[in-house]
Structures are given as structure tokens and as C-alpha cells.
């Protein structure tokens, strides 16, 4: 099996920096204290970029939301969405991570993702258009293109002089993304491209496509200029949401593509497609943060002014609790996302700027593939769940199109489908963890020994004395013991046969998701408490609530998992170990009291708490 973090060294020998390694390393160490990057640490330049995009979205995009949605308006002979994309390109926001030589700003990925976050509130249509342009449209060329390809195409994509799209999916090839049937046959200096692509975002508007096609049965990627003879586009799909975005089929009938437009080598499709998806998943996760914040903002305002039974809706205990759940989830997912992207940036900053720079950058990002899938699933399910709750909290008005939340809910669904469905991402999370274990990218075996030794001695000790959130970090560490135990039991019980037991894989992934959320929320709250931040109290309450939910979820899933692993063995010894481990996974907090405290604070202070 190919090592998944080639070229990326896991530094250090102890647990201290495991939370930084990617590959699921966070599962093997106590919650990092005072070390992870959080949004509070964004610098002035990064904040300035975010503010510029926010202002653009508020003044230019949200004011034209309906026109964008119904695709009724054309300006200067182009759809409004495209016109606005070009304006955003002129501001530099579409090439934040592209080197200045190619027309970009040459900034880090954290800044790029902060821009993606600020695109999120635009509504799904414009966000999709822009994220495809700056992400899966341009990044294949940035990461895998030759210097000539970069010089030829990147400046045009960064300015949005040309619109880009990414054509991987085919009618018979969706989740099984590398099984496409499109072909490219080399004849002299040209490939002849034949085949059809399905559901391509920006499809009707794009000037350039990254097209995946088979060259002598080697799946490959080509840069295709869409004004070439033989290219045609299907009708716009009528969709549940993101109705103002373009989604069409692309048809290629004997299209001549210059040989020099091959990306990488013949057969590189898997490397290109899967690595670009990692970045796409992170960008999507960040956009979901921005979209969620807007939904909560609307819900907060609405429930403060709408009265029933003589009281504002937000004051009813159930709704106060819902508001608390919303902001707590946003706090946790936000903490996950900034933590991951900055860990990636830190590693990229250490790479030598030599010929291997882009290859090494891809490897660094790939070493966080599991975390990228966590980010995608957490972000997309957060915005869907919160939009759904927001509609309910608006009552009948939530069902009416004039209110933001109606469209937000419809727009949120697609996030769970593209960039790999969330179910596929759950399989990816499990798969990457197991690969990391087998390839020894993380010291999983050493951690297993620690768990076993602890069980044999009957002592569970937590290797950290700091009093800040001590009990919480200890309980969460027991949760990581539990996961370690269950992963080992799963591997022993099923071995390679695990591929036939996806429900088990899903359960493991569904345990990893809340563990990572709680780990990130607690790590962030720790830092804020240590620094005596003005919002430390509310951050602590949110971390405690997040932990209580994570402990409850993981224990429920653990018992279900054991029933499958020990099917027919009701007296298996593992049940004793499970009971023992669960006895340390205690939350001393009353979640309802926490929700009241958080909900009331949010009603009083608004979302400016913790820059949410
Ligand atoms: C609005 C929109 C925009 C899009 N934009 C683009 C784009 O720009 N470029 C592009 O290339 N594609 C794009 N897509 C395609 C999108 O990425 C795919 O729709 C998605 O990957 C799922 O593929 P599918 O629709 O064929 O579903 P299927 O693969 O048929 O999946 C159906 C269901 O089965 C599940 N499933 C599939 N395989 C497995 C498995 N092995 N194990 C367990 N469950 C499984 C899936 O999770 C899903 O729940 C877009 C789609 C839409 C709707």
C-alpha cells in the first residue's frame, strides 16, 4: 500500500506534537493545550482580506440575491453571477494562494480559507461559482501544471477573465469517480477527446475545464479550452438549491486537445482528482462556516423580535437551548477548520522552494486527507442541521421564500453530495485511519500498548496536570482510549473483510467526528481561558457542552459496535474493558444548564462573541 504521507516527517517522539501530524494523530494524544491555531490568531492582513470579501458579498451579491437565483439578469452580455465573479477576481480574492508570478497574491492557505469562509454567506449559488473557480477549477493547474501551463492559464483564472470548471463525474461514474469512460487518443500533437461529463458546476459559463479521460486505459487529466470545436453543453439542470449556479453536462465529440495540455503524466488522474478533492473539501468546510453564521444571525434576529404568548421566541427555554446548540456547533467546527489549515500551512512554510515544492505541498495536504474529510462532513452537516432548525424556529415564515432560511436550507443539501458524498467521506475517514496505522504514519501501536497497560493495571491516568479544563480533557482522553480499543477490536475481528462491513466503518467514523469536534473546541477554550480572553467563560461553556455531546454519542455508538463485533458472544471479555473505559468518560456538566447559559449570552451579546 502506498504510504500516505510520503515525504512528510512526523517530528518528535512523544505525544507533544502528534496533534499536528495529520493522519489522525490527534486521536493518540491528549487535547493540545495552548497550541492549536484559532481564528483569534488571524493576523491583520488575513482579517483585511476576509473583510474585503465580506464587504463585496454584502454590497454586491446579497443585494442581487433574487436576480442571481432566477438567472434573469445579464450584464455586459454575461450572467450576473459571472459578472460578479469577474469583479471578485479583479479584487484578487480568487487567487489568494496563487504565486504573484501567475497573477495571484502568493498568500498562505489559511488566508485562502478565510476568504472561502467569507464567501459562504453569499448564498449557495454564488459561493459554488466562486469556490469552483478558485478551488477545483484552478488548483489542478497550480499543483500539477507545468510552468508553461501555469503561465498560460492561471492569470486568466485568477482574474476570472476565464471561468473554470472541473469535469470528473459521468452518468455512470459518480462516487466511483475514477471509472469514467471518456477517452483521449493521442495522434501527433493532439489528443482526440470523446465522452460526456455530468453535473458540472459552472458548466454553461466555463471557458476552461479540467477533464478526466482515459489515455490507453490510463485515467488522466487534461486542460481543455471549451471554445474548441466539438464541445457542447447540456441544458441547465433544474435543482433543489443553488439554483442560480450553472450545472450542466459537457459533451466532447472528437475535440482536439493539444498534447501539451496533459496535466502531469498519463495515469495521474487518481493523484490529481483525490488530492484536489482534499483542498475542495477544506474550502467547502470553510464556506459552510460562513453560511452557518449567516443562518444563525438571521435566526437570532428573528427570534428576538418575533413574539408569541407575549414573549420573544428566543426567551422560550427550548429555543434558547436550540440557539445554544447552534453556536456551540459553529464554535466547534470553526475550531476544527482553522486548526487543520494552519497545521498544513506550518508544514508548507518549512518546505524548500525547489522543483519539488508543489509536489511536497500536495503530500502535506494529503497527510491531512482524513482531517479534510472530517472538515467536509462536519461543515456540511452543520449548515444543513442548523438551517433545518432555523426554518423550524421561524415557524411558518421559515417556509416562505422571503426569509433567508428557506433558501439556506435548500442550498445546504448539495454540500453533503458534492466533493464526495458524506457517506463516501465517512469511508475515507476510516480508510485513511487504517492506512495510517498499517503504514505506521502514526504511533498507533504504541498508543494501544498504553491503553492495554492501563487496563491491565486497572489505573487510568491522564498525563497532564494543568488545572484548566482538566476533568474535561481527561474524559476526552478516555474517549480516545475507547476509540483505540474499538479500532483494534474491529481490525482483529474483521481484518481485510472489513470492506464488507461498511456499517462498522461508518460507526468508527461517526465516533471520530465528535471526538475531533470536542478536542478542537476544548483546545480553543483552553487557550482563551489561559489568556484570560474576555469571552473565555462562554467558550468554556461551549467546550463543556460539546464534550458532553461527544461523550454521549461515542458511548452509544461504542455499545452498538460491540454488539456487531461480538455477535453471538455475549460474555466476551471486551465488554468488561468497554464498561471500564466508559466509566472514565463522564461529563460533570448539566447540558441543559449549559445551553441556558450559552443561549442567553448569545441573545444578549449577539454573534460578535468570539468573532463567530
Ligand atoms: C449541483 C451539483 C453540482 C456538481 N458539481 C460537480 C462538478 O463541478 N464536477 C464534478 O465532477 N461533479 C460534480 N457533481 C457530481 C457529484 O460530485 C456527484 O453527484 C457525487 O459525487 C455523487 O455521485 P452520484 O450522483 O453518481 O451518486 P452515486 O455515486 O450513485 O451515489 C448514490 C448513493 O450511494 C452511495 N454510495 C455510492 N457508492 C458507495 C459505496 N461504495 N459505499 C457506500 N455507499 C455508496 C452514495 O454515498 C450516495 O448516497 C455535482 C453534482 C451536483 C448535484
DSSP 76-91: TTEEHHHHHHHHHHHT
343 phi/psi in degrees, rounded to 5: -60, -40
The whole-angstrom separation of Cα 108 and Cα 102 is 15
Condensed to tens digits (0 to 9), the pLDDT of residues 29-48 reads 999 988 889 999 999 999 99
Counting atoms of ligand 1 from 1, which one is nearest the CA of 239? 1
> CA neighbours within 13 Å on the CB side: how many for 445?
6
With the most atoms of ligand 1 within 8 angstroms of its CB, the residue from 174, 200, 243, 272 to mutate is 174
The x, y and z cell numbers of residue 117, run together, are 469562509
Q: Are strands 208-215 and 164-167 parallel, antiparallel or unpaired?
A: parallel
**Looking at residues 186-190, what average pLDDT do you find?**
97
The whole-angstrom separation of Cα 237 and Cα 243 is 9
The whole-angstrom separation of Cα 517 and Cα 515 is 5
The x, y and z cell numbers of residue 193, run together, are 477527446
Among residues 484, 474, 491, the alpha carbon closest in space to that of 444 is found at 484
User: What spacing in Å lies between the alpha carbon of 413 and ligand 1's midpoint?
Assistant: 13
User: Could you please report the per-residue DSSP string of 281-339?
Assistant: HHHHHHHHHHHHHHHHHHHHHHHHH-EETTEEGGGSHHHHHHHHHHHHHHHHHHHHHHH
What is the residue with the minimal CA distance to atom 34 of ligand 1?
175
Q: Which residues contact 371 (CB under 8 A, 6 or more apart)?
A: 22, 24, 26, 336, 340, 516
- Are the beta carbons of 101 and 56 closer than 8 angstroms? no
Counting atoms of ligand 1 from 1, which one is nearest the CA of 237? 1
Question: How many other β-carbons are positioned within 10 Å of the β-carbon of residue 446?
Answer: 12
**Looking at residues 337-344, what average pLDDT do you find?**
96
With the most atoms of ligand 1 within 8 angstroms of its CB, the residue from 169, 202, 237, 413 to mutate is 169
Long-range contacts of 408-411 (CB under 8 A, 24+ apart): 408/123, 408/291, 408/294, 408/295, 408/298, 408/383, 409/241, 409/384, 410/240, 410/241, 411/123, 411/124, 411/125, 411/241, 411/242, 411/291
What is the residue with the minimal CA distance to atom 2 of ligand 1?
199
Mean pLDDT of the chain: 94
Condensed to tens digits (0 to 9), the pLDDT of residues 353-383 reads 999 999 999 999 999 999 999 999 999 999 9
**Looking at residues 589-604, what average pLDDT do you find?**
97
**Looking at residues 395-402, what average pLDDT do you find?**
96
User: Could you please report the per-residue DSSP string of 562-606?
Assistant: HHHHTTT-TT-THHHHHHHHHTT----S-HHHHHHHHHHHHHHHG
What is the residue with the minimal CA distance to atom 25 of ligand 1?
174
* Residues facing residue 74 across a β-bridge: 79
pLDDT surpasses 50 at 5: no
Condensed to tens digits (0 to 9), the pLDDT of residues 498-512 reads 999 999 999 999 999
What is the residue with the minimal CA distance to atom 42 of ligand 1?
424
The whole-angstrom separation of Cα 24 and Cα 508 is 13
Helix axes 317-349, 369-393, angle to 10 degrees: 160
Counting atoms of ligand 1 from 1, which one is nearest the CA of 424? 47
CB 248 near ligand 1, within 6 Å: no
Q: Which is catalytic among the residues 283, 419, 472, 544?
A: 419
pLDDT at 3: 33
Question: How many other β-carbons are positioned within 10 Å of the β-carbon of residue 348?
Answer: 16
* Cα dist from 37 to 109, 336, 343, whole Å: 13, 10, 8
User: What spacing in Å lies between the alpha carbon of 120 and ligand 1's midpoint?
Assistant: 22
Q: What pTM does this model have?
A: 0.96
419 as an active site residue: the answer is yes
Condensed to tens digits (0 to 9), the pLDDT of residues 399-418 reads 999 999 999 999 999 999 99
- What is the four-CA torsion angle of 257, 263, 268, 269, rounded to 10 degrees? -70
| Cα 285–chain centre separation | 3
- Are the beta carbons of 521 and 542 closer than 8 angstroms? yes
* Cα dist from 18 to 38, 278, 343, 513, whole Å: 18, 20, 11, 18
User: What spacing in Å lies between the alpha carbon of 442 and ligand 1's midpoint?
Assistant: 31
pLDDT at 347: 94
Counting atoms of ligand 1 from 1, which one is nearest the CA of 417? 20
> CA neighbours within 13 Å on the CB side: how many for 449?
3
% residues pLDDT > 70 (the chain): 97
User: What spacing in Å lies between the alpha carbon of 418 and ligand 1's midpoint?
Assistant: 6
The x, y and z cell numbers of residue 367, run together, are 497527510
CB 209 near ligand 1, within 6 Å: no
With the most atoms of ligand 1 within 8 angstroms of its CB, the residue from 198, 242, 245, 424 to mutate is 424
- Are the beta carbons of 323 and 303 closer than 8 angstroms? yes
User: What spacing in Å lies between the alpha carbon of 510 and ligand 1's midpoint?
Assistant: 20
Which of 19-28, 90-99, 247-256, 536-545 is least confident?
Answer: 19-28
Taken in order of first residue, the domains within the chain and their CATH numbers are 18-30+423-611 (1.20.140.10), 41-163 (1.10.540.10), 165-263 (2.40.110.10), 269-421 (1.20.140.10)
pLDDT at 16: 58
User: What spacing in Å lies between the alpha carbon of 176 and ligand 1's midpoint?
Assistant: 8
The whole-angstrom separation of Cα 529 and Cα 541 is 11
User: Could you please report the per-residue DSSP string of 453-497?
Assistant: HHHHHT----S----TTHHHHHHHHHHHHHHHHHHHHHHHHHGGG
pLDDT surpasses 90 at 12: no
pLDDT surpasses 70 at 1: no
Counting atoms of ligand 1 from 1, which one is nearest the CA of 177? 21
pLDDT at 608: 82
* Residues facing residue 221 across a β-bridge: 212, 263
pLDDT at 10: 34
What is the residue with the minimal CA distance to atom 38 of ligand 1?
175
pLDDT surpasses 80 at 224: yes
pLDDT at 572: 84
509 phi/psi in degrees, rounded to 5: -60, -40
What is the residue with the minimal CA distance to atom 48 of ligand 1?
421
The whole-angstrom separation of Cα 549 and Cα 160 is 44
CB 167 near ligand 1, within 6 Å: yes
Q: Are strands 311-312 and 307-308 parallel, antiparallel or unpaired?
A: antiparallel
pLDDT at 81: 95
Counting atoms of ligand 1 from 1, which one is nearest the CA of 242? 1
CB 236 near ligand 1, within 6 Å: no
- Are the beta carbons of 557 and 514 closer than 8 angstroms? no
% residues pLDDT > 90 (the chain): 91
- Output the CA torsion sign for 435, 440, 443, 448: positive
Condensed to tens digits (0 to 9), the pLDDT of residues 436-484 reads 999 999 999 999 999 999 999 999 999 888 999 999 999 999 999 999 9
**Looking at residues 156-181, what average pLDDT do you find?**
98
pLDDT at 612: 59
Residue 74's pLDDT band, with cuts at 50, 70 and 90, is: confident
Amino acid at each position: 500500500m502506498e504510504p500516505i504521507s510520503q515525504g512528510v516527517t512526523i517530528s518528535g517522539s512523544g505525544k507533544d506534537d502528534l496533534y499536528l501530524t495529520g493522519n489522525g494523530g490527534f486521536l493518540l494524544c491528549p487535547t493540545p493545550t495552548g497550541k492549536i491555531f484559532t481564528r483569534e490568531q488571524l493576523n491583520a492582513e488575513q482579517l483585511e482580506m476576509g473583510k474585503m470579501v465580506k464587504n463585496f458579498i454584502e454590497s454586491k451579491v446579497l443585494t442581487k440575491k433574487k436576480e442571481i437565483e432566477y438567472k434573469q439578469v445579464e450584464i455586459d452580455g454575461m450572467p450576473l453571477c459571472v459578472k460578479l465573479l469577474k469583479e471578485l477576481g479583479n479584487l484578487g480574492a480568487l487567487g489568494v494562494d496563487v504565486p504573484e508570478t501567475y497573477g495571484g497574491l502568493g498568500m498562505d492557505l489559511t488566508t485562502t480559507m478565510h476568504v472561502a469562509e467569507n464567501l459562504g454567506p453569499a448564498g449557495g449559488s454564488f459561493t459554488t461559482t466562486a469556490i469552483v473557480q478558485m478551488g477545483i477549477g484552478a488548483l489542478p493547474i497550480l499543483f500539477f501544471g507545468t510552468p508553461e501551463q501555469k503561465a498560460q492559464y492561471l492569470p486568466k483564472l485568477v482574474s476570472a477573465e476565464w471561468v473554470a470548471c472541473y469535469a470528473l463525474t459521468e452518468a455512470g461514474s459518480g462516487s466511483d469517480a475514477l471509472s469514467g469512460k471518456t477517452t483521449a487518443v493521442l495522434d501527433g500533437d493532439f489528443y482526440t477527446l470523446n465522452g460526456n461529463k455530468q453535473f458540472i458546476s459552472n458548466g454553461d459559463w466555463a471557458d476552461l475545464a479540467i477533464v478526466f479521460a482515459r489515455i490507453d486505459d490510463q485515467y488522466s487529466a487534461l486542460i481543455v479550452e471549451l471554445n474548441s470545436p466539438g464541445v457542447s453543453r447540456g441544458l441547465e439542470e433544474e435543482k433543489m438549491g443553488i439554483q442560480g449556479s450553472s450545472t450542466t453536462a459537457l459533451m466532447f465529440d472528437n475535440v482536439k486537445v493539444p498534447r501539451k495540455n496533459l496535466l502531469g503524466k498519463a495515469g495521474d488522474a487518481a493523484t490529481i482528482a483525490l488530492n484536489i478533492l482534499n483542498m475542495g473539501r477544506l474550502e467547502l468546510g470553510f464556506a459552510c462556516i460562513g453560511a452557518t453564521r449567516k443562518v444563525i444571525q438571521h435566526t437570532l434576529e428573528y427570534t428576538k423580535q418575533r413574539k408569541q404568548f407575549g414573549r420573544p421566541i428566543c426567551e422560550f427555554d427550548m429555543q434558547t437551548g436550540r440557539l445554544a446548540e447552534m453556536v456551540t456547533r459553529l464554535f466547534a467546527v470553526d475550531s476544527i477548520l482553522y486548526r487543520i489549515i494552519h497545521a498544513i500551512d506550518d508544514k508548507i512554510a518549512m518546505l524548500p522552494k525547489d522543483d519539488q515544492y508543489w509536489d511536497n505541498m500536495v503530500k502535506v495536504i494529503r497527510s491531512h486527507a482524513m482531517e479534510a474529510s472530517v472538515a467536509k462532513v462536519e461543515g456540511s452537516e452543520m449548515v444543513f442541521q442548523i438551517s433545518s432548525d432555523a426554518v423550524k424556529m421561524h415557524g411558518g415564515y421559515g417556509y416562505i421564500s422571503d426569509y433567508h432560511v428557506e433558501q439556506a436550507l435548500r442550498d445546504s443539501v448539495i454540500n453533503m453530495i458534492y466533493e464526495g458524498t458524506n457517506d463516501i467521506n465517512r469511508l475515507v475517514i476510516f480508510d485513511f485511519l487504517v492506512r495510517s496505522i498499517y503504514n505506521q504514519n502514526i504511533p498507533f501501536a504504541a498508543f494501544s500498548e498504553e491503553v492495554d497497560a492501563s487496563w491491565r493495571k486497572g489505573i487510568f491516568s491522564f498525563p497532564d496536570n494543568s488545572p484548566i479544563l482538566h476533568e474535561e480533557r481527561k474524559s476526552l482522553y478516555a474517549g480516545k482510549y475507547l476509540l483505540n480499543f474499538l479500532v483494534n477490536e474491529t481490525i482483529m475481528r474483521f481484518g481485510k473483510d472489513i470492506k464488507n462491513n461498511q456499517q462498522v466503518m461508518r460507526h468508527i467514523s461517526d465516533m471520530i467526528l465528535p471526538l475531533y469536534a470536542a478536542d478542537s473546541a476544548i483546545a480553543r477554550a483552553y487557550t482563551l481561558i489561559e489568556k484570560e480572553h474576555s469571552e473565555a467563560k462562554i467558550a468554556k461553556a461551549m467546550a463543556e457542552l460539546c464534550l458532553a455531546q461527544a461523550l454521549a454519542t461515542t458511548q452509544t455508538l461504542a455499545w452498538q459496535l460491540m454488539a456487531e463485533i461480538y455477535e453471538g458472544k455475549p460474555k466476551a471479555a471486551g465488554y468488561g474493558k468497554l464498561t471500564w473505559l466508559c466509566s472514565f468518560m463522564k461529563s460533570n456538566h448539566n447540558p441543559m444548564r449549559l445551553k441556558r447559559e450559552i443561549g442567553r449570552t448569545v441573545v444578549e451579546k449577539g454573534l460578535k462573541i468570539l468573532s463567530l
